[in-house]
């Protein structure tokens, strides 16, 4: 199955209106540059004979997409007819189901594998275009720190995507989740996750066909059984600017609290707009607090605006470090990461480091191998509180989160003014 990759016209774009609330409704329209798309993806293509499982530590862009074309009947069987007890989560695209892919027909030992199946909701406002973008990008991009898209289904009005199952769920669930099913992440695991996610972004930014991810956030960082971070959900990804340009101009799409200020203000999307989002996630990793939380006191709703002064001072930093570390973190390394986050959050894109530079910094911090230890001074007026955080269940492979009613949702999207 071949998927065109020659120009940005092959990738769909969507537009919409800026919602004012954290759970605002999304409206979208599709641009005309998707009109010829249907000829690029075949409903009847056969699974490539290549296994696609070869290991390329630095990633690769496949010459042709290596995706399996599933029938709707196959996925109904895999998910027990999309039974309610197989639901892992629900987002703007639709529900995500856990499934079991029986490989008896292709494997001598009759083995199978767990998969995650994302099924388009017929009432979804963001389905068809993002489904197309996901297939176009993840169908060709292969890297250890990108979630693997195994295949898709397109029958009549049914649109589904099939992914590898990520056993540990999302970084969001681990950072903000509560309850016995979610254990706080220790320092070394958080650093490993940050490095893995950085490698995934760096691959996108430095590949032959430069890709701007556009929606980097904790809920889109998924973790396998060894806590290897993999970037998921390429529904908003966009090809980068040509060699003669510094940015691409597009309608504003992304997530409140993570989107770079220049992009929100002008619609100018730079490669380093992704670096800003990475900086926000670094702050979340340090603090265990959400990028945007209207339940916090006035002046603290936006995490970056609130904690920037703390990141600049090593003593003040102790006041915002995640209390669930229980003091067991390397203070020097934490301060170095805080400094790196500040650099990523620079107001001007050109002042931010590249993701290659970010990786080098993180790997230096990791190599220093500073042993986590109890800080000598414990502040009596520690400002970080987690008791009021919304509960999340550590069970989703594809970035769902709970809303106030106990159902799963994706984070709200920023739309153009």
pLDDT tens readout for residues 96-131: 899 998 876 555 555 789 999 999 887 666 667 788
**pLDDT at site 128:** 78
The ranges assigned to domains in the chain are: 8-164, 171-405
**pLDDT at site 180:** 65
**pLDDT at site 70:** 95
Q: Per mean pLDDT, which range of 31-35, 232-236, 291-295, 376-380 is the poorest? A: 31-35
**pLDDT at site 396:** 34
Instruction: Show the tokens assigned to 375.
Output: 């800080």
Which residues have CB under 8 Å from 94's CB, separation 6+? Answer: 118, 119, 120, 121, 124, 127
Instruction: Show the tokens assigned to 380.
Output: 């009596």
Q: Which residues are catalytic?
A: 215
Residues 31-58, mean pLDDT to the nearest whole number: 40
Place of tokens 């000598």: 376
Burial class (CB in 10 A: 0-12, 13-18, 19+), 94: buried
Residue 254: beta bridge partners?
A: 414
- pTM of the predicted protein model: 0.78
Whether pLDDT at 402 is above 80: no
pLDDT tens readout for residues 48-60: 323 344 556 677 8
Does 350 or 209 have the greater pLDDT score? 350
User: How many CA atoms lie less than 13 Å away from 263 in the CB half-sphere?
Assistant: 29
Whether pLDDT at 275 is above 50: yes
**pLDDT at site 57:** 64
Domain 171-405: CATH superfamily, name plus number: Transferase(Phosphotransferase) domain 1 (1.10.510.10)
User: Are the C-beta atoms of 310 and 320 separated by less than 8 Å?
Assistant: yes
Q: How far apart are CA 415 and CA 378, in angstroms?
A: 42
The fold adopted by the segment(s) 8-164 is: Phosphorylase Kinase; domain 1 (3.30.200)
Q: State the average pLDDT for the chain.
A: 78
Instruction: Show the tokens assigned to 388.
Output: 């009021």
**pLDDT at site 34:** 32
Instruction: Show the tokens assigned to 101.
Output: 């892919």
Residues 323-338, mean pLDDT to the nearest whole number: 94
Residues at the annotated binding site for ATP?
119
User: What is the DSSP code (8-state) at residue 283?
Assistant: H
Residues at the annotated binding site?
119
pLDDT tens readout for residues 304-329: 999 999 999 999 999 999 999 999 99
Above pLDDT 90, what percent of the chain?
A: 53
Burial class (CB in 10 A: 0-12, 13-18, 19+), 55: exposed
**pLDDT at site 384:** 55
């Amino acid at each position: 199955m071949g998927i065109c990759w020659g120009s940005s016209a092959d990738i769909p774009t969507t537009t919409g209106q800026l919602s004012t609330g954290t759970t605002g409704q999304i409206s979208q329209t599709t641009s005309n540059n998707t009109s010829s798309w249907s000829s690029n993806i075949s409903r009847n293509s056969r699974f490539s004979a290549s296994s696609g499982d070869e290991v390329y530590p630095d990633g690769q862009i496949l010459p042709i997409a290596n995706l399996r074309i599933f029938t709707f009947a196959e996925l109904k069987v895999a998910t027990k007819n999309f039974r309610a007890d197989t639901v892992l989560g629900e987002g703007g695209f639709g529900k995500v189901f856990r499934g079991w892919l029986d490989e008896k027909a292709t494997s001598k030992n009759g083995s199978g594998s767990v998969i995650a199946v994302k099924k388009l909701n017929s009432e979804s406002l963001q389905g068809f275009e993002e489904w197309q973008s996901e297939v176009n990008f993840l169908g060709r991009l292969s890297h250890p720190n990108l979630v693997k898209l195994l295949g898709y289904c397109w029958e009549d009005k049914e649109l589904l995507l099939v992914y590898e199952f990520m056993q540990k769920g999302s970084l969001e669930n681990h950072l903000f989740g509560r309850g016995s099913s979610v254990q706080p992440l220790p320092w070394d695991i958080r650093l490993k996750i940050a490095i893995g996610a950085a490698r995934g972004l760096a691959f996108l930014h430095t590949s032959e066909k430069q890709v701007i991810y556009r929606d980097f956030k904790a809920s889109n960082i998924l973790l396998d059984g060894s806590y290897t971070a993999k970037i998921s959900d390429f529904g908003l990804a966009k090809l980068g600017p040509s060699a003669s340009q510094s940015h691409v101009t597009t309608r504003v799409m992304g997530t409140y609290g993570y989107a770079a200020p220049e992009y929100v203000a002008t619609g100018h999307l730079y490669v380093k707009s992704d670096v800003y989002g990475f900086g926000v996630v670094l702050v979340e990793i340090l603090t265990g607090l959400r990028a945007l939380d209207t339940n916090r006191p006035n002046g603290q709703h936006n995490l970056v605006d609130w904690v920037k002064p703390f990141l600049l001072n090593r003593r003040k930093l102790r006041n915002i470090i995640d209390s669930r570390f229980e003091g067991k973190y390397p203070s020097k390394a934490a301060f170095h990461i805080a400094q790196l986050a500040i650099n990523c959050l620079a107001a001007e894109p050109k002042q931010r480091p590249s993701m290659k530079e970010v990786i080098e910094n993180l790997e230096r911090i990791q190599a220093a191998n500073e042993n986590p230890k109890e800080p000598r001074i414990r502040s009596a007026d520690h400002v970080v509180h987690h008791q009021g955080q919304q509960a999340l269940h550590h069970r989703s492979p594809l970035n769902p989160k709970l809303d106030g009613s106990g159902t799963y949702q994706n984070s709200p999207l920023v739309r153009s003014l």
